[in-house]
Amino acid sequence: MRKWVIRVILVAAIVGVGVWLWGVFFPSPEHVIRKRLNELTQAVSFSSNEGSLAKAMNAERLTGFFSPDVEITVDVPGHSQQTLHGRDEVLQAGMAARALAGSLNVEFLDVNVTLAPDKMSAVVNLTAKGRAGSEKDLLVQELKLMMKKVKRDWLILQVETVKTLS
Amino acid sequence: MLPTYKENGINLLNRLAYVWSQPKRGDVVGIRLAGPHIMFMKRIIGLPGEMVAFHEGHVIIDGVVLDEPYVKRPCDWERAPVILGPDEYFFVGDNRSMPQIDHTFGRGQRERIIGKILL
């Protein structure tokens, strides 16, 4: 009886480890996208003590998250609509943000990933929360991202602001 | 939502408030963005099917000025009439002293309402 129980526990443990290893080596697209977006928040964020070289390198690193033909449209109340096309403009925007704000801390909350049936593209809806420099107020904006799978990587193809209230 | 609610206050939200009833005009509600981690706190002023406009700072519902005792500071907001869809509500904050352009308000879907503010 005791041997039987040990065998069952052993099989359950092996199955559990197998499932865990499968998740580690073959993560679901949704998991990969969430991880990628988490890395993006780290690349977008910067501190006030970032050196000039680090500034340039981190801004350059930012472009790796985007497709070469990325289009970013920002339409928020009180400002004219801004559109960025391509990685070069993303890089310039990243550099400009680093020059203008002393620091920036960005988080993505409520990340909802909807995969296309072929699992080669996805639509992501999320809330971006940011605090720039010593600003008291938080910047909060709902965003919609379109991502596509290129080889084993997920790249951002399109970003647009969502009007929660219109 | 000044002056009704102070900034950085802690508020309770009843998520069951609209399980058996529909949101009403005057209710202060939590409106989700992509999810419930960050919400707007706004007052419902327009109900589905109504026409909502702002003229000289007054809310006009179907051509009639809405009485808003909770608005303590007058404003000069102007907004062209919009007709709300069958599942849409019109939300606005009580703090009308700020410039219109800085205030997040407008119509939103029923499914964005998380619940009713209790306190």
Q: What is the pLDDT of residues B62-91, one digit of tens each?
A: 999 999 999 988 889 999 999 999 999 999
The B residues from 8 to 67 touching A (CB cutoff 8 Å) are: 31-38, 40, 42
Q: Distance between CA B92 and CA B53 in Å, rounded? A: 12
Between CA A152 and CA A148 the distance in angstroms is 10
User: ipTM of the assembly?
Assistant: 0.85
Question: Phi/psi of residue B20, each to 5°?
Answer: -110, -5
Instruction: Look up the pTM and report it.
Output: 0.85
Whether the pLDDT of residue B33 is over 90: the answer is yes
State which fold the A28-161 domain adopts. Nuclear Transport Factor 2; Chain: A, (3.10.450)
CATH classification code of B13-117? 2.10.109.10
CB contact under 8 A, A165 and B42: yes
Contacts of B106 in chain A (CB under 8 A): 163, 165-166
Count each helix (H run) and each strand (E run) in chain B, helices first. Answer: 0, 10
Residues 79-118, chain B: which have Cβ within 8 Å of A? 91, 101-108, 112
Question: How far from chain centre, in Å, is Cα B75?
Answer: 16
User: Tens digits of per-residue pLDDT, B93-104?
Assistant: 999 988 888 888
For the beta carbon of residue A76, count every other beta carbon within 10 angstroms. Answer: 13
A80 touching chain B per CB within 8 A: no
CA distance B48 to B50: 6
Return the pLDDT at A39: 95
**For chain A, what percent of residues have pLDDT higher than 70?**
99
Chain B contact for A79, CB < 8 A?
A: no
The mean pLDDT value of chain A amounts to: 90
Residue-wise pLDDT for A83-128, tens only, equals: 999 999 999 988 888 888 888 999 999 999 999 999 999 999 999 9
Q: How far is A143 from chain B (nearest CA, A)?
A: 8
Of B38, B75, B13, B42, nearest to A139 (Cα)? B38
Q: Distance (Å, rounded) from C-alpha B42 to C-alpha B112?
A: 12
Secondary structure class of A33 (helix, strand, coil): helix
| Residue-level pLDDT at A56 | 82
A contact residues 100-139, partner B, Cβ 8 Å cutoff:
109-112, 125-127, 129
Distance CA B8, CA B60 (A): 30
- Report strand pairing: B58-61 vs B51-55: antiparallel
Cis status of the peptide bond prior to B99, with omega within 30 of 0: no
Instruction: Kindly list the domain boundaries of chain A, sorted by start residue.
Output: 28-161
